[in-house]
Chain A
């Protein structure tokens, strides 16, 4: 019997097709344009009494848009790109080929992670351009505010964008895990956003499990703390706009954390999809 080993080529092909599908869909272009125009339009909010570095505001806006629209995009894209295969029965044709279910899940994941990456790269690039231009004009207007010249470094902006993407990559893996056993797209989207919220509050659950009022409350909090990643960990680049450098060792640290969750959630998604009836 000819063996068919697991093939990254097939996973990559499925991923490419997923990315192509996303890029040809209006919803995603729309979200992307919205986020891009927000960042580009931030130039317009100049005429107000900020009293503090305007660059910080621009950076907040840019990374805020990345986090907000990125999360919406990731959850929607994961649910949509997964269920379009099931509901349009294209998965039927694909999985009737010599394709492992694990290749299918990995391919879908790669495609979605690529969608999120394209989003983050475009936004980071635009934000860097906007910040660079604004910093240049502030530099000539208020040289006394920049005693050491430019404060923003391109590498820090990129690191901040990368950390944003890491968070989206973890979110995508969890949403895909939900999709692998859920029956409807709506359920997946709702649960995906629920997961997003819980992950942001995970640290509270950790605290509560350490010193909760009742044994029951502690157990519940402990379980939440254990089952979900701590998304507050991805806030380590929040002050790039204020010229604060992003510590690389922490970026590496949080990368390991994200990778761990992506692998685990992905493996569980494969497990739960393995016997799914198409």
Chain B
């Protein structure tokens, strides 16, 4: 045990110490930590970011502003968006078109990830808002048919623009293409466009079979029967064996062959042992 005090006689002015050295140590320490932990961070961050293209987590160009908003909201993004959607629902019930429109934009700006914000938004724009505008103009009875059509087409185009925006966040998403096809078919009565959209829907990973069938159906309606037959013929082997839908497709093929008077020798023959089964993941 030492009884000699350690602190040596120093000049009095040496104290009243500035906090600068401590600050340097803290900043240096944090920088060192950051550099070391970057090794832990980087691999996980690369994976997480790649999995969330919908987040557009980068700071290039116009996305930078949104990146800041999203980053800021952090974990609260989902909850803020959900509450915005609740508020939107109230305004929707009140048929307040401008406010609903604003909130539709807001909700997807806050959280572009949930598909239902986009899909339901497009439906509201295409269907509900059309009805509201016609009602505001005097109702279905007094507004001329042509005008109703025009309003419907305007809203449908707006809705399709929303869906196109959604596709930048959710590329390769079948549901968005199905929605687009529905609007093109039912609102714009643009069968060719709808047929193309259904085909795109089917082409996305996990695209539903009925989209492929509807594509053929619409081709038929357009009078492009040969095209429809060719489509179904290449489709059938990709469908699961024994499925009801697969049988329906085969039935359609036979109908079209009859319509087009395809000779029996050249008629479609399902692959022996049945089709290979479930369609492959991506085409």
Q: Describe B's contact surface by its main secondary structure.
A: helix
Interface status of A125 (Cβ within 8 A of chain B):
no
Contacts of B33 in A (CB 8 A): 260-261, 264-265
Q: How many A-B residue pairs have CB under 8 A?
A: 145
Is B76 a contact partner of A67 (Cβ separation < 8 A)? yes
Q: Describe A's contact surface by its main secondary structure.
A: helix
User: Could you say which of B29, B57, B64 contacts A203, with CB atoms under 8 Å apart?
Assistant: B57
B26-56 near A? 1/0 per residue, CB < 8 Å = 1101111111111011011101110000000
Of B80, B85, B115, chain A has the most CB atoms within 10 Å of the CB of B85
Is B86 a contact partner of A232 (Cβ separation < 8 A)? no
Contacts of A197 in B (CB 8 A): 72
Contacts of B45 in A (CB 8 A): 203, 230, 232-233
Interface status of B79 (Cβ within 8 A of chain A):
yes
Q: Name the CB-closest residue of A to B29.
A: A268
Contacts of A142 in B (CB 8 A): none
User: Could you say which of A67, A68, A177, A230 contacts B41, with CB atoms under 8 Å apart?
Assistant: A230
Contacts of B67 in A (CB 8 A): 204
Interface status of A21 (Cβ within 8 A of chain B):
no
Q: Which residues of A contact B (CB under 8 A)?
A: 1, 45, 48-52, 56-57, 60-61, 63-68, 164, 167, 177, 181, 197, 200-201, 203-204, 207-208, 223, 225-236, 238, 250, 253-254, 256-257, 260-261, 264-265, 267-268, 271-272, 275
Is B89 a contact partner of A48 (Cβ separation < 8 A)? yes
Q: Name the CB-closest residue of B to A250.
A: B44
Is B79 a contact partner of A232 (Cβ separation < 8 A)? no
**14 more A-B contacts (CB under 8 A) besides A52-B116, A235-B74, A238-B78?**
A64-B80, A181-B22, A181-B23, A181-B26, A201-B71, A227-B27, A229-B34, A235-B75, A253-B40, A254-B44, A257-B44, A260-B37, A260-B40, A268-B29
Is A264 a contact partner of B29 (Cβ separation < 8 A)? yes
Cα(A25)–Cα(B234), bound, Å: 71
Cα(A114)–Cα(B65), bound, Å: 36
Contacts of A1 in B (CB 8 A): 1-2
Of A64, A267, A275, chain B has the most CB atoms within 10 Å of the CB of A64
Q: Name the CB-closest residue of B to A59.
A: B78
Number of interface residues of B (CB under 8 A): 53
Is A64 a contact partner of B79 (Cβ separation < 8 A)? yes
B65-95 near A? 1/0 per residue, CB < 8 Å = 0011001111110111110011001001000
Interface status of B114 (Cβ within 8 A of chain A):
yes
Q: A52-B115, A181-B19, A201-B71 are in contact. Are A60 and B79 (CB under 8 A)?
A: yes
Cα(A14)–Cα(B89), bound, Å: 50
Cα(A136)–Cα(B145), bound, Å: 48
Q: Which residues of B contact A (CB under 8 A)?
A: 1-2, 19, 22-23, 25-27, 29-38, 40-41, 43-45, 47-49, 57-60, 64, 67-68, 71-76, 78-82, 85-86, 89, 92, 114-116, 119-120
Q: A229-B37, A261-B33 are in contact. Are A204 and B22 (CB under 8 A)?
A: no
Q: A232-B57, A257-B37 are in contact. Are A204 and B74 (CB under 8 A)?
A: no
Is B26 a contact partner of A271 (Cβ separation < 8 A)? yes
Cα(A271)–Cα(B19), bound, Å: 12
Is B119 a contact partner of A51 (Cβ separation < 8 A)? yes
User: Could you say which of B26, B27, B71, B85 contacts A204, with CB atoms under 8 Å apart?
Assistant: B71
User: Could you say which of B22, B73, B114 contacts A271, with CB atoms under 8 Å apart?
Assistant: B22
Of B32, B33, B49, B116, chain A has the most CB atoms within 10 Å of the CB of B33
Q: A48-B86, A52-B116, A271-B22 are in contact. Are A226 and B29 (CB under 8 A)?
A: no
User: Could you say which of A49, A164, A225, A226 contacts B120, with CB atoms under 8 Å apart?
Assistant: A49
Cα(A231)–Cα(B77), bound, Å: 13
Q: Name the CB-closest residue of B to A199.
A: B74
Cα(A167)–Cα(B74), bound, Å: 11
7 A-B residue pairs with Cβ-Cβ distance under 8 Å, sorted by A, are A48-B89, A67-B75, A228-B34, A236-B44, A260-B40, A261-B37, A264-B29
Contacts of A275 in B (CB 8 A): 22
User: Could you say which of A49, A238, A253 contacts B89, with CB atoms under 8 Å apart?
Assistant: A49
Is A257 a contact partner of B86 (Cβ separation < 8 A)? no
User: Could you say which of A50, A236, A256 contacts B48, with CB atoms under 8 Å apart?
Assistant: A236
Cα(A177)–Cα(B33), bound, Å: 14
Contacts of B64 in A (CB 8 A): 204
Q: Name the CB-closest residue of B to A205.
A: B59
- Separation in Å of the B122 CB from the closest CB of chain A? 11
- Separation in Å of the A196 CB from the closest CB of chain B? 8
User: Could you say which of B23, B35, B75 contacts A63, with CB atoms under 8 Å apart?
Assistant: B75
User: Could you say which of B43, B71, B76, B115 contacts A68, with CB atoms under 8 Å apart?
Assistant: B76
User: Could you say which of B23, B72, B79 contacts A201, with CB atoms under 8 Å apart?
Assistant: B72
User: Could you say which of A45, A52, A235, A238 contacts B86, with CB atoms under 8 Å apart?
Assistant: A45
